[in-house]
Chains A and B, each alone.
Chain A
């Protein structure tokens, strides 16, 4: 199972919006509404930010939103803040009853 495709890096200024894409196939991202997103700060465990494509766990700011179109899921962060600088990973369920992560995206807040 190949990793989902994410851009290696994205950047934005405070207050701006950015979008991170996560591209798979019809056997994973496109076939199921089971895409989740994780934020990881250096030296820390990952934290769930979005589940089932667009749902936010309690405690996650509504600046974070998720969507999906075809085989590509997206995480959008609006009103960027300095503390959003981190690595972000998508995760999808697959038709083989396994899970697959994206390669990760480093977000830099300029």
Chain B
């Protein structure tokens, strides 16, 4: 059974940093693109970032490019999101999502339950 368990969320002041983790199990982690998707309170879904199975290719949405860094450790079956220069508008529930295939384009077959990030002074 595929399981994705996010952690690392919390409260941080504007300009601060936070690192999210997503522990994966139940599938060959290194074979799939992994993603972060966020949802601000009462708002819609926003794709944040994706990373290839090897970690050699990374992809970012315009709103986080240059501030967030996605990475993975295939030996630990864990996905990360390093978030720097955080802003109030980054406040959201952050989901880890497994792509359907080895490529970015196919959609997300599995989602975690999310970890909440709150940015405020």
Contact = CB atoms under 8 A, between A and B. Distances in A.
Interface stretch (A17-25, A46-54, A71-79): A46-54
B76 to A, nearest CB: 23
Interface string A62-101: 0000000000000000000000000101010100011111
Interface of A: 1, 3, 32, 34, 36, 38, 40, 45-48, 51-52, 57, 87, 89, 91, 93, 97-104
B44 A104 contact: yes
B47 A98 contact: yes
- Interface residues on chain B, size class: 20 to 34
Interface stretch (B18-26, B79-87, B104-112): B104-112
A104 B37 CA distance: 14
B106 A34 contact: yes
Q: Which of B59, B107, B112 has the most CB of A within 10 A?
A: B107
Interface in B86-101: 95, 100
A99 B108 CA distance: 11
B99 to A, nearest CB: 10
